Amino acid sequence: MDIYICSTVRHLLLSLCRASKKQREEHHILFFADYQGTSLDGWDLTDLPKNIHVHEMSRRDFRRHLGSSAKGRLSYLLAMRTLTAPRWLQQPIIDTLAENLPELASRLSAETGFRLWLFNERNKMSRAFRLLVHGFNIIEDGESNYLKYPVPWWKSPFRIMRGLPLKRRSFGEDARCKEIWVTYPERLQALVKNKGRQINFLDGDAVVDIISSVMGENSLPPITAQSVILATQPLDGMANIPVTDKQRIYDTIVTCLEGQGRALILKLHPAENKADYEFLQARTKPTPAKVPIEALVLSSSNRPVVLSISSAAGLGFERFCRRIKLIEYDDTDSIRRWVNQPEDLTACLKNSLAENEIAR
């Protein structure tokens, strides 16, 4: 039995893709929908294969129930510090799960051989379920898998005890992490590279079928090699500019792409207000919030352009799309400059598109 802990629609999609390729195994996907403020309401899960089960959960409710007892609070404390726990302190996690899924909780209480699949191994729900197992696996969460992150000085003694580097941490460094399934195993940090495995469950008719089935064909716009999926970002917050300036930047981008005869598909960032982009509604094809970019490119027989200002949109899916990132994430000076000098943005975009065509 495989259990997946998901907090984003991207996680959910990748879980479904892997499960669709492992038809002899039973899969339970726990989707904590309130992380992105979404739900499964718009997904059609009625025709899933009988071995795949998707369950909508709430982080808020899970933590509230876990904190209602002294044992639950203690198990949560151990989980947040990524420590292990004796069996009697694992039980509060199972009891909390039983509030929504009594049958699955009963099986977890009796079974020890299930496989746990995480994405962001450090989010709170992942840490909670890690208490139940001696080992777990990771599926790629994006750019974060390939980076090192600074560690506060006060954690140094604990890292020395665990034999870990003092100043930087990597996804999957925990000894209990057995495998890290990513698109580019060779790019993993040296400390965890031996755990790297090549993702092998994104191709094939089964993947396309399950995406079309759960999301509905009407949610997946037709995509050609000339299509551009524009992945927006909350530039107003990132560069401390007014919303009107953010809109001015995206108006410049859309105008440039229109001039090249490109079909535009608008994919909003989960943290953004849909109303910010209503002015582009007649000029682009908006996609529902439930549809991640990965679903768009995996379900297409072409390799569209995935365009962003500075995000990791499309990262790891370069076999299925052509990524264009105009600037680095921390280059807020360029964002502010483009507001008053849109010709610079247009030139940057045209050059990036031309380089992308040459590299095809």
What's the pLDDT tens digit per position in 274-311?
Answer: 999 999 999 999 988 778 898 899 888 888 999 999 99
**Average pLDDT estimate for 132-149:** 90
Instruction: State the pLDDT confidence band at 185, using cuts at 50, 70 and 90.
Output: very high
Instruction: State the pLDDT confidence band at 358, using cuts at 50, 70 and 90.
Output: low
* Residue range(s) occupied by CATH 3.40.50.2000 in the chain: 221-359
From residue 37, alpha-carbon distances to 8, 160, 274, 276, 278 in Å are 9, 38, 13, 18, 20
Longest dimension (CA), the chain: 65
What's the pLDDT tens digit per position in 215-265?
Answer: 876 677 888 888 999 999 999 999 999 999 999 999 999 999 999 999 999
User: Which is nearest to 239 in space by CA: 327, 328, 335?
Assistant: 335
CATH number of 221-359: 3.40.50.2000
- Note the pTM of the prediction, 2 decimals: 0.85
Fold (topology level) of 2-205:
Rossmann fold (3.40.50)
**∠ CA 359-221-44 to the nearest 5 degrees?**
125
**∠ CA 82-84-89 to the nearest 5 degrees?**
115
Asked whether the beta carbons of 289 and 270 are under 8 A apart, the reply is: yes
Rg (CA), the chain: 22
Mean of pLDDT over the chain: 91
